[in-house]
Structure 1
Amino acid sequence: MDKFVVRGGNPLLGTIKVSGAKNSALPCMAAAILTEDEVILENIPQVNDIETERKLLTSMGAEVELGYGRAQHRTRIKCAILSDPVAKYEIVKTMRASSLVLGPLIARTGIARVAMPGGCAIGGRPIDLHINGLEAMGATITQDHGYLEARADRLKGAHIVFDKITVTGTEDLLMAATLAEGESVFENCAREPEVTDLAALLIAMGAKIEGAGTGTIRIQGVSKLHGARHRINPDRIEAGTFLIAGAITGGDLNVDCCEPKHLGALITKLEQCGVKIDVGADHVRVRSGGELKAADITTEEYPGFPTDMQAQYMALATQAEGTSTVIENIFENRFMHVQELIRMGANISISGRTATVRGKTPLQSAAVMCSDLRASASLVLAALVADGETILDRVYHLDRGYEHFEEKLRGVGAQIRRMGDVFGKK
């Protein structure tokens, strides 16, 4: 099992490039199910979740080519024949995004059998909203032995008000509605850039969609979609992680190939912490402004502060003068990194969904355990400023969502390697 060894103390200096967004790429790959034609996706990140999605689509009968060499961030998907519309447990057990094939499968083939989602153990992501929405569109859904089975001759448009904002629920039903008979109106929709990115692909495929990126989306169903070429958005969470890496190390880091308008909540918070930020058209430069200052955050749906940046921000808060309050509103079990940060010397207490971080505390190297994707990133950030060498176990979580993470950090001065590598190599 891979480990990271991180030696702290180096400010990060230089330019680091952001990869495509995993959380956009996964639903866009699922959208290829909706057509017999070829769908070409560019700026695909090379992360483990993408490989899992490739295996999933291939197991259903799709042709999936992940590019290498000059086309290394491109994938070609052709779902001319879907001979086995089943999302098998042994493939999707490590990935939460398995539910994203439910809607497009039933819309295209009239039947879908999908294993209940797996992935990070950060709390419940109820699939009830997917089920309720598809049933409102005329599907019959049963649950048996850990699988959901859905059937429908043809889905019908429906007016759906989501009980709570759900990104994957919005995406799943949006895909289903593109081939439904009649008009669908969805309210209380997720407004995340990943939803907008998916809608852009679907429109390029011939879907009729209005309002993506707002709370209300209207879809006029069509009988058939066609192939398309689409470029995936930059990964806003990867970009945010690197911004915090530059800030926590007191460095001068240019985060390139990103979309600054997707980072508004984080940039505002970093400025409150005393970090100097320069924003360009497709890059953000972060520089030390002296001592970091404490600032509170509350995670919210987009455009609020993202839950996927909470753990990384908490690492930063340990190095800020004063007391920071971190309130987690999205997932009920997303403080698993706290005990590992405490092992490194952080002063953090938890009460329900609120964590109180008292800084500035000197962090010390330790052996720590990664529990989920974003927790892994937070522990790397903490290790970058810790005294000595920190060993991080179970970094396979990180490999699910960050492309060449340690190589990118090494390129801007971090001393980080996988166990068995040699410092200085790239």
Structure 2
Amino acid sequence: MKTLLVQESQKISGTINISGSKNASLAIIASAIIIEHPVKISNVPNILDVKNLLLILKHIGFKFHFSKNELLIYPLDKVQSYLIPRHLTSRLRASNLIISPLISKYGKIKISQDSGGCNIGARPIDLHIYAIRKLGYHITLSDQNYLSIYKNTKLFPQKIHLKKISVGATQNAILATVYIKGTTIIKNIAIEPEIIDLISFLCKLGFKIYLNKKSRTITVRGITREHIKAQKHTIVHQVIPDRIEAATFIISTAINGDKITLNNINHCHLQNILIPLTKSQIIRYTKLSKDSVQISKTEFQFQPSMTISTKPYPAFPSDVQPQIMVLMCYLNGTSKITENVFEQRFQHVYELQKMGANIRIKNKKAIIYGKKTLTPTKIQCSNLRSAAAMLLAGISSKSANKLYTIIENADHITRGYENITEKLRKCSIHIQVLQEKYPSTVIQDNQYLIK
């Protein structure tokens, strides 16, 4: 596992090009299983999760070429393997996104449910299974935790109401219905930008999918494979920018920044981050162009506390909760976070407490007593977004001596942030990447001095 050495007391300043969305890329790449003609997908981030998903597609039999953030995938006539083994699924939570594309086009799948990704609480596949079973698929779960799904009868369109808003279940429900003749209606769906990007991609392929964001309803008019084959041209699609990466850099500027320019962003997708930060007079933002923004930290000495409640989009995202908690450690007064999405999303709290943060947890609520200076020390990453929070904490930490924050298990951050250390270095942040343990030469009395 990689270790990061992050120098304390640094102000982020410069220009960053935001990468393509991790979550949109994973959904679109998985959905490409149903293609009948080559597809060219651009703005795909070169991150670990994308590489692990491509390993699964290669195992199934797909041919593809991935270079310079552009992915070309060729259609598959014959599946090489319907069995997706544990050693592939254990690397990637999003491995479940291949279920519906594979059964929709090829009729069956057997996939291990020992999936990887972030350990942030229960993310059961029950909602996915509910939608797929209602459409008429036969589903069994073996003692070895392998899920088998296949068509055993004619499938019929249905009215599906998801019991809980879920991005993954929404994606699988859509893809399970695209080849079912008739009209399927899916209600209580997620309306994240990544869902809309997936629908945009599928419509380019020729599928008939209609979204009503206000009522959280999707209507799918099923078509035949012959209809898709008749398109006879290469589909080109550009993945949307990663709003979570952009939010991470915005919050970094709010904590200890000067001025930063973010390129390749979508202003609409960032409103749930920008509005609370500007209302609290923590940052100013200036729209430079349709896909560029300048963020600057305000000069106000008294920056008031904040209250955040995470919920599905368009509310404040759970994926940004760890990062904004770091900011709250520096605000005046008492800030509060209610985590409504993942019950284990507070794993980063212990690490922040090791740095001197005063945080109390009660059930799904966190109370952050602000105006605390975080001190460099050795901390651990437990998941992707906590890794981003640890990085922000290390950059903003301060001490009497010039010290490093040592961040262990930092491989988590490579799952979702493309070239993040290089991007930070371009913004005047001093950071070192070590492949294994940190060198003993930087350790003095359990502190980590900058040489």
Confirm or deny: 8 A CA contact 2:19 2:43 kept in the other structure: yes
1:395 partner amino acid: A
Deviation at 1:115, TM superposition (A): 1.6
Match of 1:386 among 386, 390, 397: 397
> Residue 29 of structure 1 aligns with which residue?
29
Deviation at 1:181, TM superposition (A): 2.1
Whole-angstrom distance in 2 between the partners of 1:262 and 1:319? 26
Match of 2:140 among 120, 136, 142: 142
1:172 aligned counterpart, secondary structure = helix
Deviation at 1:83, TM superposition (A): 2.1
Deviation at 1:213, TM superposition (A): 4.4
Instruction: Kindly provide the CA deviation profile for residues 226-273 of structure 1, in whole angstroms up to 9, marking residues without a partner as x.
Output: 552110000000000010111111310111111110011110111133
> Residue 261 of structure 2 aligns with which residue?
254
Confirm or deny: 8 A CA contact 2:82 2:108 kept in the other structure: yes
> Residue 443 of structure 2 aligns with which residue?
none
Whole-angstrom distance in 1 between the partners of 2:155 and 2:258? 53
Q: TM-score, normalised by structure 1?
A: 0.95
| Aligned alpha-carbon RMSD (Å) | 1.5
Gaps in structure 2 of 5+ consecutive residues:
439-451
Deviation at 1:97, TM superposition (A): 0.5
1:318 partner amino acid: C
Match of 1:418 among 433, 439, 447: 433
1:128 partner amino acid: D
> Residue 93 of structure 1 aligns with which residue?
90
Q: How does 1:241-390 map to 2 (within 5 A)?
A: 241-274=248-281, 275-280=283-288, 281-290=290-299, 291=301, 292-387=303-398, 388-390=403-405
Deviation at 1:331, TM superposition (A): 0.3
Whole-angstrom distance in 1 between the partners of 2:198 and 2:356? 42
Confirm or deny: 8 A CA contact 2:65 2:71 kept in the other structure: yes
Instruction: Kindly provide the CA deviation profile for residues 158-182 of structure 1, in whole angstroms up to 9, marking residues without a partner as x.
Output: 1100000000100111112111221
Confirm or deny: 8 A CA contact 1:40 1:74 kept in the other structure: yes
Q: Is the counterpart of residue 77 in structure 1 residue 73 in structure 2?
A: yes
Confirm or deny: 8 A CA contact 1:65 1:76 kept in the other structure: yes
> Residue 423 of structure 2 aligns with which residue?
408
Whole-angstrom distance in 2 between the partners of 1:87 and 1:202? 24
When structure 1 is superposed on structure 2, of 336-345 and 87-96 the one drifting more is: 87-96
Match of 1:229 among 216, 224, 236: 236
Which of these two proteins has the greater Rg computed from alpha carbons? 2
2:169 aligned counterpart, secondary structure = helix
> Residue 186 of structure 2 aligns with which residue?
186
Whole-angstrom distance in 2 between the partners of 1:373 and 1:356? 22
Gaps in structure 1 of 5+ consecutive residues:
422-426
> Residue 240 of structure 1 aligns with which residue?
247
Deviation at 1:155, TM superposition (A): 3.6
Confirm or deny: 8 A CA contact 1:196 1:212 kept in the other structure: no
Whole-angstrom distance in 1 between the partners of 2:28 and 2:105? 15
1:211 aligned counterpart, secondary structure = strand
> Residue 424 of structure 1 aligns with which residue?
none
Q: TM-score, normalised by structure 2?
A: 0.90
When structure 1 is superposed on structure 2, of 201-210 and 214-223 the one drifting more is: 214-223
Confirm or deny: 8 A CA contact 1:254 1:285 kept in the other structure: yes
Deviation at 1:85, TM superposition (A): 2.2
> Residue 200 of structure 1 aligns with which residue?
200
Overall identity of the aligned pairs, in %: 33
2:257 aligned counterpart, secondary structure = coil
When structure 1 is superposed on structure 2, of 157-166 and 84-93 the one drifting more is: 84-93
Confirm or deny: 8 A CA contact 2:13 2:257 kept in the other structure: no
Whole-angstrom distance in 2 between the partners of 1:139 and 1:299? 34
Aligned residues: 418
Deviation at 1:8, TM superposition (A): 1.7
Confirm or deny: 8 A CA contact 1:7 1:416 kept in the other structure: yes
> Residue 444 of structure 2 aligns with which residue?
none
Whole-angstrom distance in 2 between the partners of 1:62 and 1:113? 17
2:285 partner amino acid: I
Whole-angstrom distance in 2 between the partners of 1:20 and 1:371? 24
1:360 partner amino acid: K
Whole-angstrom distance in 1 between the partners of 2:279 and 2:404? 30
Whole-angstrom distance in 1 between the partners of 2:75 and 2:146? 22
2:129 partner amino acid: I
Whole-angstrom distance in 2 between the partners of 1:164 and 1:284? 34
Confirm or deny: 8 A CA contact 1:6 1:417 kept in the other structure: yes
Match of 1:118 among 116, 119, 123: 116
Whole-angstrom distance in 2 between the partners of 1:228 and 1:179? 19
